[in-house]
Amino acid sequence: MIPFKSLATALIFWGQQQTAQYLSIIHFDNEQFGMYQQHQIKTFIEDLQYNLYGNTHSINPSAAHTDKIVTQVRMKILNWLGFNADLYTVIFIPGLPAALKLIYIRQSVEGQFGMFASNNNNINAQIEDIQNKAHIFLDISSIASTIPIAISKIAVNTKIQSNILSYNSEVDYVFFSLDRIFGIPLQGLSVLVAKDSAMNIFDKTYFGGGTVTLSLAEESFKQWRPLVCSRFEDGTVPFLSIVSADHGFQTLDSMIRSGMNRLDIMQEIFKHTQSLYHWAVQELGLLKHTNGQHICRVINSYEKDDYIQNNNIILHQPLFSFDLLDVDGLEFSQEQVIIIAERCNISLGTSIAHPNKKSIRVSLGYLNTFNDIEALISFVTFHFKNISIQQFNSFFHIHFKSSS
């Protein structure tokens, strides 16, 4: 039985319509990059055809129009995450390293920070001790497109590698990449949502274009722009990417039916992707060779120590890893599996699920369908059932390696 299938029917139809430009490719790497949609691309191109956008540091009409859209996107982000615009600000930033540099590298404040024990390459959350006050930093990139949570009310419970043993309070910094949500064609647009009170302790010792209203070369003097976000966005923000993000939000809003709000559609997306997750994990776990040996060893992401809790409901991202095993229980090469999957128009990801060992990763998005899961199960069954490592290597060498 497929849980929540009736709730997902509209999303399945939507996904099939909006991914027609690459229906031949099944995308299972949503944690790294979301699928952009036909509607979003169409409206974005039409917008560029009929409207002129200019640098927001200018004062001409095109610059004013751009500044209006940029401000609207900031507000949409705050509303989407449940933040009070009077207390938090949105800073557009190139990526996670830049966000961490902005927070941690400064001259006047010394502090310590710890990180979750379960972190690998990505920083999911960090706790910072500045001037005897704990600050929390969350990277929500992997969950923002599928989990309906008001981040401002979040509680984090986990093991901390630091002198700080626990943390349960308001969030000070939230980071995420918009291209992982909307699959924005113009990459490199990330967001740091920061509490104004946390940013005001920064003693910034450098400045770029657009961050000051006045500076003097003869003496060390500068006058910061009044808005908090303007002080920390050195140079011109990628305004066309921000315009594209606006069309991403519009596309998401177009899925909202009468009587619903954005949180409601995120609830449906959550149920849909969780249904896909549970069904995929269940069906892959049931696959066996004729001799009874399991074909898949599923590594359930729900077993991690850290989790996000909202209104006492534990919410997990629809992501899992798995290894493929031959008739003798030996693991197939993860690299070879990825290559064969790509030739079959299935795009998979990788993860470090074991110490020093990569596994195959499936991260689901709201445009994935049950047909996608069926295709994955058929792919695994067709290529790996009742096959030994030796037979597989010979097959791979003849049909794939020679033509790669």
Supply the DSSP string of 293-321, one letter for each residue. Answer: -BSEEEEEGGGSS-EEEETTEEE--SEEE
pLDDT for 385 = 95
Residues 6+ apart with CB under 8 A from 385: 287, 289, 290, 295
Instruction: Tell me, rounded to whole angstroms, the distance of Cα 129 from its chain centroid.
Output: 26
- Can you give the pLDDT at residue 18? 54
Q: What angle do CA 141, 167, 79 make, to 5 degrees?
A: 45
What is the rounded CA–CA span in Å between residue 197 and residue 202?
10
Radius of gyration of the chain (CA): 23
Amino acid at 237: V
Residue ranges of the chain whose pLDDT lies below 70: 1-23, 105-134, 148-170, 184-187, 200-206, 208-209, 216, 223, 226, 257-258, 300-315, 353-356, 401-404
Q: What is the pLDDT of residue 221?
A: 72
pLDDT at 168: 45
Tell me what pLDDT residue 161 has.
37
Q: Where are the beta strands (DSSP E) in 207-253?
A: 212-216, 221-224
CATH 3.30.1360.200 fits 5-30+260-403, yes or no: no
pLDDT for the residue 100? 81
Separation between Cα atoms, residue 237 and residue 313, nearest integer Å: 37
Residues of the chain with CATH 3.40.640.10: 41-252
Q: Which CATH number is associated with domain 41-252? A: 3.40.640.10
Residue the block writes with tokens 């009070």: 84
pLDDT attached to residue 355: 61
Q: What is the pLDDT of residue 1?
A: 38
Domain limits, CATH 3.90.1150.10, in the chain: 5-30+260-403
In sequence order, the 6+-apart residues with CB closer than 8 A to the CB of 377 are 280, 283, 284, 287
The single-letter code of the amino acid at 92 is: F
pLDDT tens sequence across 210-233: 777 777 677 777 767 767 777 777
pLDDT tens-digit map of 17-61: 555 455 578 989 887 777 777 778 888 999 999 999 988 888 899
Q: How far apart are the first and last CA of the chain?
A: 40
What are 105's two structure tokens?
């590298």
Check residue 59 and give its pLDDT: 84
What Cα–Cα distance (Å) separates residue 177 from each residue in 30, 96, 199, 299, 362? 12, 8, 20, 26, 19
pTM value is 0.76
Q: What is the pLDDT of residue 9?
A: 47
